[in-house]
Structure 1
Amino acid sequence: MDILKVDSTLVLYDYPLDYSIAENGSYYKDPETAPEQPTYQYCAVTIDKKLPNGVEYEVLEELFIPDEDKDTITKTAKANTKFISEEIINTLVDEALRITNNLNNKTSKSTNLAKSSASKWRPAGTIKVWDNVVGDFVPVEGVKVRARRWFTTHTGIASASGRYSCNGRFRRDANYSIDWERYEFALQDGWLNGATYNGPKKRGDWNLNLNSGKQEYYATIFSAAHFYYYGSRMGLKSPPTNATFKTKMKIAARLERDESSHIHQRRFILSAPIYIKTYGRESQAVFGTTIHELAHAAHWNFDRDAYNNLGAGGYVLQKDGDKRTLET
């Protein structure tokens, strides 16, 4: 999994892309995979795409995907050169959906025809989370929103105002979702599962205000991690970064109220080095604790041997002195 995450061009999903989402959730676990193994990852790639070395893969299907974002040329621009008209492409796509039972059967044929010839639209919106200290919704800067229709995904990253606009357009409805991660870090829901938010299937803007439950929790932890990695650290050392022969920082967002921690050795058992256990606490406590544990990761990155010795003494051998030194 870590090898795949090094390639930022791969848009990975933990469920097959030709499946419909019957019920929204925060992650999916393939029932055929063992509990201690990560679930299969699915992705649509160009035919000439080279996957990272060491990744086993299976080609499930070869696809022809018309470019929905680019206006099709309908007039001959050069003598003896022919172009497929936009109307023909739309008709072929509709027929492919019909024969695979994926055309919306709840609407009339004329309605589906109108949708196929409808103007293109760009997925966009605003993502915010409730801050109970400020007493208002605040932007979730840096969150990457995905809009997917079948095997085509367009993405957009929220600005400082929480506003995002995806890098492509569709003609029909698209499935919105959020994967609570960026290139340098990723939140986990449970032991191995990535934390996600599966939004609606719709045409038009998706605006989201998170004000309760674990998705609010994820958004606050994400905001803190994004600030530490991509904001102004004022010269402080960075936590471990994602690169070849390195691993993306995993942050387990535990739905508990207990002692949070950073123990780098957890990664050797496929677990997250950082556990955040501030579920249900005020947003400033969740944000601050995440910063605190990332600072531990930065300290480990600065002097690994000393940190590992203190961590083993404080958390494995339960030596209060080592634990106090580590926490200061």
Structure 2
Amino acid sequence: MIKVLVGKNKRTLELRENHNFDWLNKVEIFAIFNQQDSGNISFGVISNGEQFFIKYAGARNLEYTGEIQAAIERLKKAEEVYKHIVHQNLTPFLSAFQIEQGFGLKFKWVNGECMHNHWDFTPFEKYNSPYSPFVKLRNLPLKERISILTKIYEFATFVEAKGFVMVDFYDGSILYDFKNGEFYICDIDFFRKSPVVNNIGEDFWGSTRYKAPEEYQLNAAITSATNVYTLAGLAFAFIGGRSDKSFEKWEASKNLYNICLKALENNPSNRFSKISSFYHEWNESILGSPLHL
């Protein structure tokens, strides 16, 4: 392990290999996210009195075991995704930059806590600590949690209309500002233009908590029906029993429960074929039973 000092305030960054971060010398760093296995290292920085989020590929953190150039190429592809998908609930993308040893993306900083904050909370703490963002979310009123889910589904429908498939979308892509009640999506790096095929097999990008069966199958089509599976999984995480899909653990209406069960069918052809159809049914159910969400 190598420790390097970054930013004009000299924050410590732990790496597997030495790397030149002189390009950060003119900014103050207030946050470092260095435990991702994607090959990226991210920073919260202050420049000219404004806060920004920088995602950088080119240095090897302690978690990443792949090729550095592969991480750089993935982040370059992500730039095109952020250029095509612009939404009020997505962290605002500003620009990209290339330096000799790496590549980075710059975003506006948004306040919010990540629903899968694995760098601060163990898996047990995520679901049990009162300070865990996920636990705090589960303690919100049911109506507020359903409102967050509805905004997520609206965003997903927007992405679908743009011709994209949401790859590697999970609770770690969700930020919530508990003070102001504001919600954001972050990290859509792996979203891809349709058609998409699982060219990796069982290790296809995504969280095992939300991946559909086809996301484990080599050469399987990854479609809107795949995304519907993930979106329903989020519903059970937010208002149900997470891995326990029983109605007894479900906090909302039977109609919403049945919609999400259909979305979780193992066979993609038995689910909703479009996110827009799932979103429509979800909304219709909420409007039809406002007192029994």
TM range (shorter): under 0.3
More helix by share: 2
Structure with max Cα Rg: 1
Please report the TM-score for the alignment, with normalisation by the length of structure 2: 0.26
